Structure 1
């Protein structure tokens, strides 16, 4: 019989094959060829476990294990299968594989839950493809819909709606993907920590009770192109010089806000991007995170004010969009306590944690009770080709998830 550890390894190593950048980490954009390859594999494995498989209007995959009382709300377990460019093989897929392994264990032990159990594989979570993190779960919970899917675009200027249409999904039916709160009993997710705390403390799992709030800003500065040699310095409208002044002040705003508030400029596009041309347009992202909603909002306001001031100073036109804002999320205390009880019973070394990264769990918290388990990340690395969590460590996380699922589904 295949062991849990060997199952986890098989699934994760196979999914890692579906990448645009072999040998250089996982690059799997939503609705890409690699997405389709991973999608086919996940549906195949769900079917092999005897799950009823379906895809919703935007491409999220569900595998349903029917409960003894099918009319009861479902416990959903899973995560996402998109990636950042040249990322790791564990961020997201580990949570989906956890769901598959939980079902495999139920099958091995001939257990049938009273409540239905669904394994979900979510599309766009990272925000890499269309500049909007947590996109799929936001559609599922009704936070965004068809309008936004037509507006969100990738770096080639192609909308999310267009991309999904090329592989058979329909953004205009996004409303059909929305889950009714009364149909979901709980959403559970296992994720790699993406930080060094658990490894340094030699602990098996983290039980997350709070996820930081997140804002993503997109700032567009419009100046005027000109010849680098013939345009006097006092007659320029240099969008990049303006951007550099704004960007250089952002870290200090985050530090001053306190409560471990952080801010990151992670994407910067310069046009026309010529060595001898004054930059006419700059678009950059600002990612702001804090467990304190007051601090989060304060930094957002300060970045907007700073942008307006510097733009006026440099004779630049500015536009600011906020494609994502999620306030700090406190996860369900009952599920948190249930996980602690099971972790103690299994003699797992654990701690209660705040997540500095955003996860689909925080979006599902808007419609149902939620729980999130962390497993250690080697050297704290994530969003990197060397991202790694030992398969045995994931299996210990699955042990805790399995016990939690049995309790919630009343096996």
Structure 2
């Protein structure tokens, strides 16, 4: 019997006992459905995290601060000693936390550390309010982008740091309050930014709105506006009017750039060198690693339940094929008497098992894709509407193919016992079987 004839025979023999085969396929379907859906959940969430990583920071950047205890007013073991070099930092810890300020000397020290390609200080700017024309005044913060960061835009474009003009992106939540019907209408309009300097004098700077940022889990904007470098420099200069020259260049943190091709070991070594110099550095992976680990752990547990369901289904395959072997004893004897070798008989029943696994896994995967797509779309419009761009359950074609192949392998292994029994059958005894 040729290979194609063997496969065709295995497929046709699968449904000799339709009820038994269908029940076995349904058992496999449950496991395949669960496995596909949980994999889709992991794929969707991790894809969202990967898509927003650049909103948190570039992958080849360490956010660096001076190593010091939080100075929030009260420490776990008592009051924190006053440090005249401390500056406020929202990134350092709980609200009100401070870090020791980085100075130009610190920036030079960081630049001299082996493995550091560039150092950029983060300028902290505090505004009074923003306003369009004579409209309502709204309080906001000023965000900043590290090189390599991106903004998830609903309309317009990212501020051009090479432009001489003042450009700014506003969050979508400010569009209607500022007097615009939609995000597109805000692009190209003039935004007034007002801040107060050290002499208590207010300054107004006008910038052009070039984009509107979406809300997101890891958005650099949040409730902040994001100016280009020219506007940032102007605001920083005006804010420090009246501040002694030696007090102007004090920064809460800096961005340290390293080789994008650096290995984990090389990044760890760079962190150690920073620590030896009195600085603390963290990457995007450090900030999001714990979150991704939790998601992967949840998916792993859910996949374990799916595997249990598949193991239970494998017993169904064993039972189905053992009964098939018993019912076809005379047929097996006849095939062997006509010259079919034990290997061909084994292949015939193994192929039947693999085909049952294929049907159950393929149908389960299709049902999971349909259900997952519907659930994800529904959640995106309801519970997850505040996280634009999140497709909770996403399906990777390679992952789906992998699930189907794994289940077919499990089914094949489950079918080896009945297949061996059929292959070892004595043709004379089989022909006598009643």
The TM-score normalised by the length of structure 2 is 0.20
Higher CA-based Rg: 2
| Greater percentage in helix | 2
Compare relative contact order (CA 8 Å, sep 6+) and give the higher one, 1 or 2.
2
| Greater percentage in strand | 1
